[in-house]
């Protein structure tokens, strides 16, 4: 039988990797979402009255995310556009949560395909302000940026 990713995650947990995320964080049903949505906003000069942005919920900047130090955090990223986006979190690492609840490897960037959703989980262990943004320059420039604060 060929080992699966789930087998590798179980083995990593036994070896001591993957600690820091209590199993109980996955019981919550209301997981806050960050949604990449296209919106049109007025721009300058007025001869070009609309600019397309891809912000969290169609707003710039996106909603600030406030969490306490040591808090276990779970977020769902929803890409409501037709294009894939890489989402990058500064100053902390997270694990992608698969549909069966298995945790992936530590990372700071996740690819969210167009019209798809990804979930991540992490422990907010690094206090301060943290930038969270689309990792492609065009995405960040068009508004796909928000801040997180760990207090």
CA distance 54 to 92: 23
Residue 48: how many CB atoms within 10 A of its CB? 9
| Number of C-beta neighbours around residue 53 at 10 A | 19
pLDDT of residue 5: 56
Domain with 118 in it: 5-150
**Number of independent structural domains in the chain:** 1
The β-bridge partners of 18 are: none
Angle in degrees, CA 71, 73, 77, rounded to 5: 160
Alpha helices, DSSP H, located in 3-135: 5-14
pLDDT digits 0-9 by tens, 103-122: 999 999 999 998 899 999 99
pLDDT tens, 124-149?
A: 999 999 988 888 877 777 777 788 89
The pLDDT value recorded for residue 54 is 64
> Residue-wise over 89-126: b if at least 16 C-beta within 10 A, else e?
bebbebbbbeeeebbbeeeeebebeeeeebbbbbbbee
User: Residue 100 pLDDT > 80, yes or no?
Assistant: yes
CATH number at residue 62: 2.60.40.420
When mean pLDDT is compared across 14-23, 43-52, 54-63, the lowest value belongs to 14-23
- The DSSP symbol for 98 reads P
């Amino acid at each position: 039988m060929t080992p699966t990713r789930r087998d590798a995650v179980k083995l990593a947990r036994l070896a001591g990797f993957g600690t820091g995320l209590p199993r109980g964080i996955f019981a919550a049903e209301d997981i806050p979402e960050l949604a990449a949505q296209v919106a049109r906003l007025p721009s300058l000069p007025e001869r070009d009255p609309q600019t397309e942005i891809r912000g969290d919920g169609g707003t710039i900047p996106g909603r600030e995310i406030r969490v306490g130090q040591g808090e276990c955090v779970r977020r769902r990223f929803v890409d409501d556009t037709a294009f894939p986006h890489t989402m990058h979190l500064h100053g902390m690492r997270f694990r992608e949560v698969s549909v069966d609840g298995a945790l992936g490897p530590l990372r700071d960037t996740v690819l969210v395909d167009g019209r798809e959703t990804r979930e991540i989980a992490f422990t907010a262990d690094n206090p301060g302000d943290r930038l969270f943004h689309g990792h492609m320059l065009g995405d960040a420039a068009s508004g796909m940026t928000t801040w997180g604060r760990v207090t």
